[in-house]
């Protein structure tokens, strides 16, 4: 703030001095009168706004415009504001002419234009941390709207290695390997490309940073570069919309591309973001456990038959906005660490009482299953059933696990 104030004073005083000096010397007098003649006639005027007022208007406008240009977040909005200000100055001169009062607006117009140009130049050449220097890192990875906000300074970005709290979303085609085996390579490549483009576009529109979009799926990051406390909530909402959109497309058309169902893994945590110095094109290194876990959760949907799986941290952050249920633990291959995974089902605002009840029965069943109380768990899972035409794959997964166990218990009790 202090630096902006000092710069404003420097720019404003310099511009006011230049414009006031040119006006006072009379060097641009003929130009001023020639330009203003179509708007206000000096000869027919009965009164003239005193020259002393020019030396008041010019410094005030120069300082005001410099301050706005140097501190504004929305640079495009400021340009429109300055344009309106210029039009108003010319309009004021014309209104004064209707009452035979001559007001020369050009010194004020020059002050506005020169202050704006000098302030813009100052920002471009003297602010080395200006977001434009970071533009190559984000082209194609942010939506046009978010990229514009970054360039305007609404999204602060420091191109230095830093830790960011984010939510990572990994999306891939369900049964991708089966489709690859049953389709011609050209058809599979075309369908995969459509899926990647569609998912990436939807995630871009939602305000995410696209970390990867290739044959292994799409990985998007919420909460970077725009730090947002609601990144987990937003990520889960977008994931639910993606799955719902995929279901609707499958119902509305019978094309092969419509069979590209969506699997999504979501996890929250800290990642390290740093610029890569090697290579021909600027790029960002984004690395951390959430990226790996999101991919693993995405793949784990194939085991349980779910569409979306989220980690514990994501569940904690978004639990008030969604209705979710526990599924299982994702185990680390090289250690004893386990990550509990949940399946988001509905938005809390859209869930009906029967949805909540079925979720609770399923939750009870999972708890009882982990306690090895097989018969009680089986009974709770049975209560969690929906309509006959509803395919609840995770529920069927647990029922298949429990059926032989409950059968053995029944046989033992009968013996």
Phi and psi of 301, rounded to 5°?
-60, -30
Give the pLDDT band of residue 128 (cuts 50, 70, 90). very low
Taking the C-alpha atoms of residue 315 and residue 297, their distance in angstroms, rounded to an integer, is: 13
Looking at the chain, the whole-number percentage of residues with pLDDT higher than 90 is 39
Over the chain, what is the mean pLDDT?
83
Condensed to tens digits (0 to 9), the pLDDT of residues 378-406 reads: 999 999 988 766 788 999 999 999 988 77
CA distance 312 to 343: 11
- Over residues 38-97, the pLDDT tens digits come to 766 656 666 777 777 777 888 888 888 888 877 765 566 677 788 888 888 778 777 877
Q: What is the largest CA-CA distance in the chain?
A: 120
Contact 211, 235 (CB under 8 A): no
Confidence of residue 357 (pLDDT cuts 50, 70, 90): very high
188 or 3, which is more confident: 188
Q: Give dist(CA 236, CA 344) in Å, integer.
A: 8
Q: Assign 196 to helix, strand or coil.
A: helix
* Cα separation, 193 vs 182, whole angstroms: 17
**CB 109, CB 86: distance < 8 Å:** yes
If DSSP codes are grouped into helix, strand and coil, which group holds residue 127? coil
Q: CA 197, 199, 200 angle in degrees (round to 5)?
A: 65
Dump pLDDT digits (tens) for 276-305.
876 667 788 899 999 999 999 999 999 999
pLDDT score of 253 more than 90: no
**Taking the model in full, what pTM does it have?**
0.69
Architecture of the domain whose range is 163-351: 2-Layer Sandwich (3.30)
Q: Domain spans of the chain? A: 2-126, 163-351, 354-415
């Amino acid at each position: 703030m202090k630096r902006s104030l000092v710069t404003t004073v420097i720019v404003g005083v310099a511009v006011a001095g230049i414009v006031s000096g040119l006006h006072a010397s009379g060097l641009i007098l003929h130009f001023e009168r020639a330009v203003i003649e179509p708007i206000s006639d000096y000869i027919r005027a009965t009164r003239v706004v005193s020259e002393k007022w020019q030396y008041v208007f010019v410094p005030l406008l120069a300082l005001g415009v410099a301050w706005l240009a140097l501190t504004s977040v929305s640079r495009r909005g400021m340009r429109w504001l300055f344009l309106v200000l210029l039009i108003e100055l010319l309009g004021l001169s014309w209104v004064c002419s209707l009452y035979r009062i001559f007001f020369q607006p050009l010194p004020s117009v020059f002050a506005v234009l020169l202050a704006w140009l000098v302030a813009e130049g100052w920002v471009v050449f003297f602010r080395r941390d200006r977001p434009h220097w970071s533009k190559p890192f984000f082209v194609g990875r942010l939506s046009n709207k978010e990229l514009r906000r970054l360039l305007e300074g609404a999204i602060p970005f420091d191109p230095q290695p830093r830790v960011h709290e984010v939510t990572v979303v990994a999306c891939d085609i369900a049964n991708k390997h089966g489709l690859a085996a049953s389709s011609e390579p050209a058809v599979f490549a075309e369908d995969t490309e459509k899926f990647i483009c569609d998912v990436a576009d939807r995630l871009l529109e939602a305000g995410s940073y696209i970390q990867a979009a290739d044959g292994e799926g799409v990985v998007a990051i919420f909460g970077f570069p725009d730090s947002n406390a609601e990144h987990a909530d937003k990520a889960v909402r977008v994931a639910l919309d993606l799955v719902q959109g995929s279901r609707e497309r499958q119902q509305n058309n019978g094309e092969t591309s419509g069979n590209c169902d969506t699997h999504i893994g979501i996890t929250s945590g800290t990642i390290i973001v740093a610029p890569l110095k090697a290579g021909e094109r600027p790029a960002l290194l984004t690395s951390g456990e959430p990226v790996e876990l999101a991919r693993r959760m995405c793949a784990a949907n194939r085991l349980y038959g779910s569409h979306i799986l989220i980690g514990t941290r994501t569940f904690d952050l978004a639990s008030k906005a969604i209705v979710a249920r526990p599924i299982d633990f994702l185990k680390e291959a090289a250690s004893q660490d386990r990550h509990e995974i949940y399946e988001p089902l509905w938005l809390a605002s859209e869930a009906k009482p029967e949805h909540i009840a079925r979720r609770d029965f399923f939750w009870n069943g999972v708890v009882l299953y982990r306690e090895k109380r097989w018969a009680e768990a089986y009974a709770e899972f049975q209560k969690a059933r929906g309509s006959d035409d509803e395919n609840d794959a995770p529920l069927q997964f647990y029922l298949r696990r429990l059926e032989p166990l409950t059968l053995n218990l029944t046989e033992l009790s009968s013996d």
